[in-house]
Amino acid sequence: MATDPSMVDPLAEAETAPPVVEPGQRKRLSKWRLYGRRFTRNRPAVGGVVIFVLLVLFALFGPLFAKYDHVELDFLALSDPPSPEHWFGTNNAGNDLYAMVVVGLQRSLLIAVVVATGTTILSAVIGTAAAYFGGRIERVALFVIHFLMVAPTFLLLAMMSNSSGGDWKVIALVLILVSWFFQARTIWTLSLSLREREFVHAARYMGVPGLRIVFRHLIPNIGSLLVINFTLGVVGAVMAETGLSFLGFGVKLPDVSLGSLIGIGASSISSSPWMFYFPAAALTLLTVSMALIADGLRDALDPTSAAGGRA
């Protein structure tokens, strides 16, 4: 049955009609969409993402194209330069360098992600909890942070990692234990102002437990800083692991990492330069890409930065 146009409710029709955007009015963007638009306008940061994705794909699917395993020996090709049989050449024992670089990149990426995740979580919880609870908890946390900041952490790291026998899981755990306090100090400083905000006082007056305020109100409000800390933590973890392995305190054979490969290749750079250049190139691409991503995230998440342009 046809409906009389005069009987249509104008209020109901207005509710179902699509919103009208005035000619001079811009559509409001969500926060994360705005961040994404600012990030994609930073060409070096986008280039860093492309390089990092390619490195991850190389680490994941590189073994499918390897003709040899990284522990397999070719006694007919000792210290051979790059060739169709061995794309990156071989080392003094006859190991295929292509397979070793792929495995070394996998191990370095795994250590970097585990360490960056652990340090980000640990520093966020300790820094915000110390700022919110104050009193004795804050004094103890700051004492530990300041003590570790002046302690010879590299010597502690070298001794503890050397006793691990080259196990990458122990090395990652040790790197987390000696790397979280710098970030925690910064987060504590920032959280001192957050704990005086109205939403924190309102949650406290409503009887919300302190730990829930820390996890539900303080930590989410420093999410942009945590994202930047994570990306920079990946770079720091890669460099720390590389330094340890280069000095012989990190990953040990038969397991390999980019740092251990660079340490081995540095001793024969004059006679077999490909043993040094290929793992060094992979390490350089990894650290540069993460540095570009971190720089782009900082500009995208900082509302006062003009590097991301106007959304």
The domain limits of the chain are 36-301
pLDDT (tens digit per residue) in 68-78: 887 777 777 77
Q: Check: CB of residue 290 under 8 Å from CB of residue 49.
A: no
Residue reference for tokens 């409906």:
3
pLDDT (tens digit per residue) in 208-250: 888 898 888 888 888 888 888 898 888 888 888 888 877 777 7
CATH architecture for residues 36-301? Orthogonal Bundle (1.10)
Mean pLDDT calculated for residue range 287-299: 86
pTM of the model: 0.79
pLDDT (tens digit per residue) in 174-212: 889 888 888 999 999 988 888 888 888 888 888 888 889
pLDDT (tens digit per residue) in 119-143: 999 999 999 999 999 889 999 999 9
pLDDT (tens digit per residue) in 146-156: 888 887 777 77
Mean pLDDT calculated for residue range 51-64: 91
Give the whole-angstrom CA distance, residue 98 versus residue 48: 23
Lowest-confidence region among 100-114, 155-169, 255-269? 155-169
